[in-house]
Amino acid sequence: MALVKFRGFQMASEIVKAIKAIEAESGQTIIITSAYRSDAEQAKLYSEYKQGLRAGPVAPPGSSNHRTGFAIDVAAASRPILLKYGPKHGLYNLKGDPPHFDLGAKPGLFPQLYEGAKDLLLNTTPPGIALKSAGRARELAQAGVGGAIVSYLDEAVVQPFKEIAERLLLILIGVALLVVAFREQIADVAGRFTGAAAKAAVA
């Protein structure tokens, strides 16, 4: 993981590129309040959050995208700017966490439909339950062999599965949208085929 220093914070160079592009387009300066955090730093913040010493939400250690350098937190004044210009440059707000923005691929079309379907998949289905269970195990894991096993399972199994699930979901959404958009044409073609088949059978 290659990180660069930008305005006093360590983060992925791709985020720096996105921020500079957004600032050039908006004419505003993005005020960053947090970027890369180690698992140890995340654990400290999470402990403070659980004790009521810090406002939330705060993700459990090992589950925040801050650990990759591909996430930033911004000041309240900068949130409207990122909400408006961020998606064009790959920066998206994490639902339920107003200051938090992740850099990653998201569909440019029908974002509300995508988010709703993704929430349904990851929160109410067996795969979603499995992902949540993995997150809970990671939270409870201690240093040593147990923690190493959980980390390995997360990287080797959970994250790849999540990516595959999201891609399959996008394909299903795309097919559904095509069917809705061309339903009249599909019905017309089906009607012609049925009619031709009926005539052939009579003949």
Average pLDDT for 87-113: 73
In this predicted structure, what is the pLDDT of residue 195? Answer: 67
In this predicted structure, what is the pLDDT of residue 7? Answer: 95
Confidence of residue 159 (pLDDT cuts 50, 70, 90): low
How many residues are given for the chain?
203
What are the DSSP calls for 55-117, one per residue? -S--PPTTS-GGGGT-EEEE-GGGHHHHHHHTGGGTEEEETTEEEEEEE----SS-HHHHHHH
The domain limits of the chain are 1-106, 107-203
Q: Under CATH, which architecture does the 1-106 domain have?
A: 2-Layer Sandwich (3.30)
- pLDDT tens, residue by residue, 17-44: 999 999 999 999 999 999 999 999 999 9
To the question of pTM greater than 0.95 for the whole model, the response is no
- pLDDT tens, residue by residue, 136-157: 444 444 334 444 455 555 555 5
DSSP run (H or E) holding 119 = helix 111-124
Q: In this structure, which amino acid lies at residue 188?
A: D
Token pair recorded at residue 121: 């998949």
